[in-house]
Structure 1
Amino acid sequence: MTRHSTDTPQFYLTAPSPCPYLEGRQERKVFTHLVGPHAPALNDILSQGGFRRSQNIAYRPACENCRACVSVRIMVDRFDWTKSFRREMRRCSDIVGDVLPAAPSSEQYDLFRRYLDDRHTHGGMSDMTVLDYAMMVEDTHVDTMVIEYRKRGPDTFITGRGDGPLLGVALTDRLSDGLSMVYSFFDPDVEGISPGTFMILDHVERARTLGLPYVYLGYWVNGSPKMAYKARFRPQQHLGARGWRETGDDDE
């Protein structure tokens, strides 16, 4: 059985494979394992260095001749609450997010499958089974939570929880300097609101309440339409050769 050191992480490089974001390109990743008692501190350091977490793996792009993937984080204290964002919050004022331990449920998986079948039929996650989903949620050695979003119910003012069908789910890591949105999905048939936008805005508010300066959104990929939405949440910082810099401060 392979053993992984929890004191000195070992990094590995994947073989080239088709890029899921830019047609005709190949991607490679550098990755390490997040295991043991030092995993939370390592996840902090690596997240600040542009890595993302998937289960007990931290990875970042290491593509040859391509730097399209850029790590993005929202600057919480200066967040620009545009008229559009404020309207969305009003539309979603009856939705409540309930923070739960990182544990999967059949209701979550049913919603996850509906979301993938509607939005990402040919994506890399499209063939995930219920066991794959369970591993995605619970295989973590860091401070991870699941936030379930439902409509406000008659007892919400007492319990703080929503009621009724599940509308959205966010798998989120708490870092020393922010909240990292590992993965989120929502009911593709809901009308009148934008659940994906709302969940990001909700994370901005949660980070502000916790006194955390950033919300990590993962990678923005220049030229990928499916990643274009991330540019709306400003001000934001991008990670480049000179470290984290607010967009507009450099030539990225």
Structure 2
Amino acid sequence: MMNQPINSPQFFLTAPSECPYLEGQSERKVFTHLVGEKAKALNDLLTQGGFRRSQNIAYRPACESCRACISVRILASEFKPTRSMRRNRAANIDLVGTEYHAEPSSEQFKLFRRYLDNRHQSGGMADMSIGDYAMMVEDSHVDSRIVEYRGRTEGDGLLEHPTGELLAVALTDRMGDGLSMVYSFFSPEVTERSLGTYMILDHIARAQNLGLPHVYLGYWVKGSRKMEYKTRFQPQEHLTAQGWQRFCP
């Protein structure tokens, strides 16, 4: 690891590898380290410039022949839920979301493994161990949080740590201009709850309560079914060569 001032980070380029989103394409990434006392400010700056965080690394696509990956952020202060989103919130009114400092637990990992085994059996994270998961959560030099979503039980309002069944988890960075959803996962057995959608709606509400204007969702790839859901949350902005611009699907 290396310490580096915010105004002169060192960037590196990965070797080409198979693209996880578009068949027949290869991907490369440019990355830098987020370490030291300047990490938080650097993470803010780079996220606004289209980077994502993974542990103590900030990265963005740098593919030679493709520009399909587009950074997306929701305008939280202007967000208006659709009818289906209001139904989603009503269907999950029995959940309680609790925010903690980014600390892993064996309970989280069990849910994480069920999610991967059901949804991402052949993905790059498929073989992650409990040690790998712990590093994903706690290897951070920025303001990272874990939000746990549990079924509500009697007396939860009086408890610092609710005890209901853990159904979903979001790893989130709190930045100067918004919340960045680094990674989220949920119980694959309760598909009727649409927990992925619910966690985004909850983060929009959290950003609004904090007076933060944005919720960063990472990359949207036109033509990738995995990414279609991201454009449903309007209004939103996409990062283009001309800067952040409003996007209408």
Band of TM-score, shorter chain: over 0.9
Residues 135-178 of structure 1, C-alpha deviation per residue, up to 9 Å, x if partnerless? Answer: 00000000000000001121122236543221000000001000
Q: 1:168 to 1:69 in 2, by over 3 A?
A: same
Q: Quote the residue 1:96 is aligned against.
A: 96
Give the Cα separation in 2 of the matches to 1:69 and 1:87.
30
Give runs of aligned pairs for residues 1-252 of structure 1, distance below 5 A.
3-7=2-6, 8-159=8-159, 161-248=161-248
TM-score (norm 1): 0.95
Q: Deviating runs (4+, > 6 A) in structure 1? A: none
Residues 184-228 of structure 1, C-alpha deviation per residue, up to 9 Å, x if partnerless? Answer: 000000153111110000000000000000000000011111111
Q: 1:245 to 1:152 in 2, by over 3 A?
A: same
Residues 82-128 of structure 1, C-alpha deviation per residue, up to 9 Å, x if partnerless? Answer: 11000000000010111111111111111000000000111111111
Residues 27-81 of structure 1, C-alpha deviation per residue, up to 9 Å, x if partnerless? Answer: 0000000000000000000000000000000000000110000000001111121
Give the Cα separation in 2 of the matches to 1:153 and 1:139.
32
Long gaps (5+) in structure 1: none
Contact 2:3 2:36 in 1 (8 A): no
Aligned-residue sequence identity (percent) comes to 62
Give the Cα separation in 2 of the matches to 1:174 and 1:156.
25
Give the Cα separation in 2 of the matches to 1:34 and 1:54.
10
Q: 1:96 to 1:160 in 2, by over 3 A?
A: farther
Amino acid at match of 2:18: P
The alignment covers a number of residue pairs equal to 248
Secondary structure of the corresponding residue to residue 87 of structure 1: helix
Give the Cα separation in 2 of the matches to 1:132 and 1:99.
22
Give the Cα separation in 1 of the matches to 2:55 and 2:192.
33
Long gaps (5+) in structure 2: none
RMSD: 1.3
Amino acid at match of 1:3: M
Give the Cα separation in 2 of the matches to 1:3 and 1:140.
14
Give the Cα separation in 1 of the matches to 2:2 and 2:37.
15
Contact 1:97 1:161 in 2 (8 A): no
- State the Cα distance separating 1:4 from its structure 2 match: 3.9
Give the Cα separation in 2 of the matches to 1:238 and 1:191.
29
Secondary structure of the corresponding residue to residue 137 of structure 2: helix
Amino acid at match of 2:2: R
